[in-house]
Chains A and B, each alone.
Chain A
Amino acid sequence: MKTGFSRAAVLSVVVLVFCGALLLNQKVNAAGEGKISGTVKLDGTAPHMKGIDMSKDPYCSKAHATDPAHLENVVVGQGGGLENVVLYISEGLSGSALTEVPTQVAVFDQKNCVYTPHVLAMDVNQKFKVTTSDQTTHNIHPNPNPMTGNIPWNQSQPPGASPVEKSWKATEVIPVQCNIHPWMHGWFVVIKGPYATTDASGNYTINNVPPGSYTVTAWQEEYNTQTQKVTVAAGGTGSANFTFKAK
């Protein structure tokens, strides 16, 4: 019985060391990083985005006197390109490519009583700051599920307030809102590894992708997610185009 147990114990150590070696091995891949790029489009007629009545706060309605604000759940640009879609690698990453945190601070601004950008993607533990450019009080109130490890908080930002700097501990799509201006609604998309967000034409490029085979996921707030398999050669560019169907 004793030998049986110790044999099993040795085996399990070997398994652990092997897995550890696999993880460490990925660091070597830092050189020859490639990209994944493509376009995200909407197929069909874009849903009508309602105008926002900001009359509750004269500061806000004045700011939009000549340029009325609309909801931003689905923003379609030229040629059907979808803006604000977050693309990230959901499978195939390991080692430092997965755990490395960008040093760049992501910025979420409150300007003219809307969030800019409407969707802010960031890495787990990446710093982000919430700034205000407005002469009216906002409260910045993200509402994650505390069971994931991300804790909800709620801070005021009166005119001229200094930025609120924070980070998130776990991957999650977190809604954020201002209770004072109930139309202000946006998203923090917290992921692990390299990511990108589509521009006004629906184009994106995920940089710093080590060579390998991956599953890329595209997230859109109304249309949920789609995935695709992509292979990236050393220093090369993998391509993945997505099309969401209008409901």
Chain B
Amino acid sequence: MRTRLGKWSLLLPAAALLALPGISSAQLTQQDLAQKLTAESHVANMTGHAKSAAADYRRYCVGCHGELGDGNGENAVWLDPKPRNFQLGVFKCRSTPTGTLPTDSDLFDSIGRGFDRSNMPIWNTLTKQQRVDLVAWIKHFSPRWANEKSGDPITIPPEPEVTPERIKAGREVFARVQCWKCHGVAGQANGPSASTLTDDLGRPILPYNFTEGSRPKCGDTDKDIYRIFMTGLDGTPMPSFADNIKPEEAWDLVFYLRTFMAQPSKEKAMAKQLGLKPVDPNAPAGQQ
């Protein structure tokens, strides 16, 4: 007993020094994860506990996202897009700026919403409590949550009334920041750069096609669409435009994007009445 204690206390400072040079990029092991089971999540007035989600994760999620949350479940080879690697802590759908961790509510919403045009189903068959627990479980996979806080959600001003002027202003924004480079002038995902896009893992990825009627991955309300281009979809080619589109212009752009969508809308009707044409990529700046 005496010798054991003595040896350990001598080793401690040495171990502390060795640990200084930096975090190794090695993959997490089951042992590392076991220590993080105290992870919690908070959504509205609910609290989630990672421990409580173990059985649900094993039953519903492990097949794709894998035992270690690295996105390498046994089904992963068959899937495209690939299941999320939770260890990296990089997520598409956030209310927070690019390069920051999402909020617990963002993850909770993603689980309940599912991802259109992917193999991630809508998990609203699970109770809210189960989903909040799963959020805590997802967080226990990435060391990022131990070292960083979630980003601060971006501020979204109240949505103004749609007017033909706003739709026209949105068209100007679309032309100015050149959304068409990937999404195409009519939102058909056929811009000049569309065919060469890759995600952060180097896998081919398509821009969103507004016209085919599928739901945007991170939600289909006006607010969701606002958030998508003001936060960017991390891990994909979609950048954040927060520094280059003012909040009031952002609403104009949301209204203009609606005019592309297959679903009938006020915006679509107004655009028809205005006889709006797709933007001209070759027009000089400000002369659409």
Interface residues in chain A, defined as those with a beta carbon under 8 Å from any beta carbon in chain B: 1, 4-5, 7-9, 11-12, 15-16, 19, 56-58, 135-137, 139-141, 143, 145-149, 151-159, 161-162, 164, 170-171, 179-182
Q: Which B residues from 232 to 248 make CB contacts under 8 A with A? A: 232, 234-244
In the docked arrangement, what's the CA distance between A140 and B99, Å?
12
B1 contacts which chain A residues (CB < 8 A)?
A: 1
A153 contacts which chain B residues (CB < 8 A)?
A: 98-99, 232, 234, 240
Complex contact A136–B178 (CB within 8 A) = yes
Interface residues in chain B, defined as those with a beta carbon under 8 Å from any beta carbon in chain A: 1-3, 5-7, 9-10, 12-14, 16-17, 22-23, 25-26, 87-90, 98-100, 142-144, 147-148, 176-178, 181-182, 192-193, 196-198, 200, 232, 234-244, 282, 285
Q: A164-B243, A170-B23 are in contact. Are A8 and B89 (CB under 8 A)?
A: no
Q: For the complex formed, measure the closest distance between the CB of A80 and the CB atoms of chain B, giving whole angstroms.
A: 32
Shortest Cβ-Cβ A-B pairs, 4 listed: A153-B99, A179-B237, A137-B178, A139-B239
Residue of B nearest to A137 (CB): B178
Complex contact B98–A4 (CB within 8 A) = no
Complex contact A5–B88 (CB within 8 A) = no
In the docked arrangement, what's the CA distance between A149 and B240, Å?
21
A162 contacts which chain B residues (CB < 8 A)?
A: 243
B181 contacts which chain A residues (CB < 8 A)?
A: 57, 137, 180
Complex contact B2–A4 (CB within 8 A) = yes
In the docked arrangement, what's the CA distance between A223 and B246, Å?
44
A136 contacts which chain B residues (CB < 8 A)?
A: 178
Q: For the complex formed, measure the closest distance between the CB of B257 and the CB atoms of chain A, giving whole angstroms.
A: 16
Known: A5-B2, A155-B240. 10 other contacts (CB 8 A): A7-B6, A12-B9, A12-B12, A141-B239, A146-B90, A149-B22, A156-B232, A156-B241, A158-B244, A170-B22
Complex contact A158–B234 (CB within 8 A) = no
A182 contacts which chain B residues (CB < 8 A)?
A: 193, 196-198
In the docked arrangement, what's the CA distance between A143 and B202, Å?
10
Complex contact A148–B25 (CB within 8 A) = yes
Q: A137-B177, A154-B238, A159-B285 are in contact. Are A148 and B200 (CB under 8 A)?
A: no
B98 contacts which chain A residues (CB < 8 A)?
A: 153-155
Complex contact A1–B2 (CB within 8 A) = yes
Q: Can you report 28 A-B residue pairs in the complex whose CB atoms are below 8 A from each other?
A: A1-B2, A4-B3, A8-B7, A11-B9, A12-B10, A135-B285, A139-B239, A141-B239, A145-B88, A148-B22, A149-B23, A149-B147, A151-B100, A151-B144, A152-B90, A152-B99, A152-B235, A153-B99, A154-B98, A155-B98, A155-B243, A156-B232, A156-B241, A156-B243, A158-B177, A158-B178, A158-B244, A159-B176
In the docked arrangement, what's the CA distance between A149 and B200, Å?
16
Complex contact A151–B13 (CB within 8 A) = no
Complex contact B9–A9 (CB within 8 A) = yes
Complex contact B200–A8 (CB within 8 A) = no
Complex contact A179–B197 (CB within 8 A) = yes
In the docked arrangement, what's the CA distance between A5 and B5, Å?
7
Complex contact B244–A19 (CB within 8 A) = no
Q: For the complex formed, measure the closest distance between the CB of B101 and the CB atoms of chain A, giving whole angstroms.
A: 9
Choose from B5, B234, B237 the contact partner of A4 (Cβ within 8 Å). Answer: B5
Q: For the complex formed, measure the closest distance between the CB of A153 and the CB atoms of chain B, giving whole angstroms.
A: 3
Complex contact A5–B6 (CB within 8 A) = yes
Complex contact B237–A19 (CB within 8 A) = no
Q: A57-B192, A154-B232 are in contact. Are A145 and B200 (CB under 8 A)?
A: no
Complex contact A146–B23 (CB within 8 A) = no
Residue of B nearest to A19 (CB): B17
Interface core residue of B7, B13, B17, B98 (most chain A CB under 10 Å): B13
Complex contact B23–A152 (CB within 8 A) = no
A179 contacts which chain B residues (CB < 8 A)?
A: 182, 193, 197-198, 237, 239
In the docked arrangement, what's the CA distance between A138 and B240, Å?
11
In the docked arrangement, what's the CA distance between A241 and B197, Å?
40
Q: For the complex formed, measure the closest distance between the CB of A16 and the CB atoms of chain B, giving whole angstroms.
A: 5
B5 contacts which chain A residues (CB < 8 A)?
A: 1, 4-5, 8
In the docked arrangement, what's the CA distance between A7 and B15, Å?
19
In the docked arrangement, what's the CA distance between A154 and B100, Å?
11
Q: For the complex formed, measure the closest distance between the CB of B23 and the CB atoms of chain A, giving whole angstroms.
A: 6
Q: A137-B178, A147-B23, A147-B25 are in contact. Are A4 and B6 (CB under 8 A)?
A: yes
